[in-house]
């Protein structure tokens, strides 16, 4: 095992953080303004594209030719420092894991760097960030996103452990032979290799999986 692929939103910070909801509201705002439709229609389109394409942005690009940079900038313009506090213990535990760590996120690098900075985790990741642009706008759980990452770092799936709050994302990881850690509350499905209820417990689960606990 050589590499940890770690998701950002709702994986490195808890899903009840207001930042995630705030970005959702901004996505609806954006759709309403750009497509000049009602709030209700904008909400409906947001949900429909999310289900259909795995990421609302992709539906907007395909069906409405919106500028992805404009969208990414608008949606991620939230007060990160106000809502995400440093988590030095988690950062220390993560950094000590003797594996290369790659941030693998459907968001954009600009936002990801700001969240990592707010968490105090920038130096955990050796600047290795794969974002939606590098995935050529194929979001997780699309297999193409994983292929791009593996090719870029000259890795095979069985060299990787993937950590994510989305079971769909982890199930694609399995098809590449990756091991999986699910971050979330509730019953962990049997096909997942390890489970962390809270983001802070991720490092412990990784250590158990790689046998250094
Ligand atoms: Mg996530």
Q: What is the residue-wise DSSP string for 32-84?
A: HHHHT--HHHHHHHHHHHHHHHSSHHHHHHHHH---HHHHHHHHT-S-HHHH-
Ligand 1 geometric centre to CA of 167 (Å): 10
Q: Who's near 165: CB < 8 A, 6+ residues apart?
A: 7, 9, 10, 11, 15, 182, 183, 184
What secondary structure letter does DSSP report for 189? P
Instruction: Summarize pLDDT for 127-170 with one digit per residue, the tens.
Output: 788 899 999 999 999 999 999 999 999 999 999 999 999 999 99
Q: Who's near 18: CB < 8 A, 6+ residues apart?
A: 83
Ligand 1 geometric centre to CA of 21 (Å): 13
Q: What average pLDDT does this structure show over 14-28?
A: 94
Ligand 1 geometric centre to CA of 178 (Å): 17
Q: Is the pLDDT of residue 2 over 90?
A: no
CATH code of residue 70: 1.10.150.450
The domain total for the chain is: 2
Q: What average pLDDT does this structure show over 16-28?
A: 94
The reply to whether 189 and 119 lie within a common domain is: yes
The reply to whether 108 and 206 lie within a common domain is: yes
- How far is it, in rounded angstroms, from Cα 173 to Cα 188? 16
Ligand 1 geometric centre to CA of 10 (Å): 5
The reply to whether 30 and 54 lie within a common domain is: yes
Ligand 1 geometric centre to CA of 51 (Å): 15
Ligand 1 geometric centre to CA of 11 (Å): 5
The reply to whether 41 and 89 lie within a common domain is: no
Domain boundary among 55, 75, 95: 75
Ligand 1 geometric centre to CA of 84 (Å): 15
The reply to whether 113 and 67 lie within a common domain is: no
What secondary structure letter does DSSP report for 133? T
The reply to whether 35 and 126 lie within a common domain is: no
Ligand 1 geometric centre to CA of 18 (Å): 14
Instruction: Summarize pLDDT for 41-84 with one digit per residue, the tens.
Output: 999 999 999 999 989 999 999 999 999 999 999 999 999 999 99
The reply to whether 128 and 104 lie within a common domain is: yes
Per-residue model confidence (pLDDT) at position 68: 94
Per-residue model confidence (pLDDT) at position 146: 97
Q: What average pLDDT does this structure show over 184-202?
A: 95
Q: What average pLDDT does this structure show over 169-197?
A: 97
Per-residue model confidence (pLDDT) at position 184: 96
Instruction: Summarize pLDDT for 100-128 with one digit per residue, the tens.
Output: 999 999 999 989 999 999 999 999 998 78
Domain residues for the domain of 113 are 3-14+84-210
Ligand 1 geometric centre to CA of 164 (Å): 6
The reply to whether 96 and 59 lie within a common domain is: no
Per-residue model confidence (pLDDT) at position 152: 94
Per-residue model confidence (pLDDT) at position 213: 53
The reply to whether 100 and 59 lie within a common domain is: no
Q: What's the mean per-residue pLDDT of the chain?
A: 94
The reply to whether 66 and 120 lie within a common domain is: no
């Amino acid at each position: 095992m050589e590499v940890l692929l770690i998701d950002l939103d709702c994986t490195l910070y808890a899903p009840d953080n207001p930042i995630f909801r705030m970005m959702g509201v901004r996505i609806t705002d954006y759709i309403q303004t750009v497509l000049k439709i009602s709030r209700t229609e904008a909400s409906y389109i947001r949900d429909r594209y999310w289900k259909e394409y795995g990421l609302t942005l992709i539906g907007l690009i395909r069906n409405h030719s919106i500028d992805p940079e404009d969208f990414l900038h608008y949606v991620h313009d939230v007060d990160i420092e106000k809502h995400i506090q440093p988590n030095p213990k988690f950062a220390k535990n993560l950094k000590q894991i003797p594996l290369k760590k790659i941030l693998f996120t459907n968001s954009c690098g600009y936002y990801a760097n700001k969240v990592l900075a707010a968490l105090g985790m920038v130096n955990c990741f050796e600047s290795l960030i794969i974002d939606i642009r590098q995935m050529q706008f194929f979001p997780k759980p699309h297999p193409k996103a994983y292929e791009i990452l593996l090719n870029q770092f000259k890795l095979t799936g069985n060299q990787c452990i993937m950590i994510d709050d989305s079971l769909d994302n982890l199930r694609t990881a399995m098809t590449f032979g990756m091991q999986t850690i699910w971050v979330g509350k509730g019953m962990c499905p049997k096909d997942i290799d390890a489970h962390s209820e809270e983001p802070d417990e991720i490092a412990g689960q990784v250590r158990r999986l790689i046998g250094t606990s």
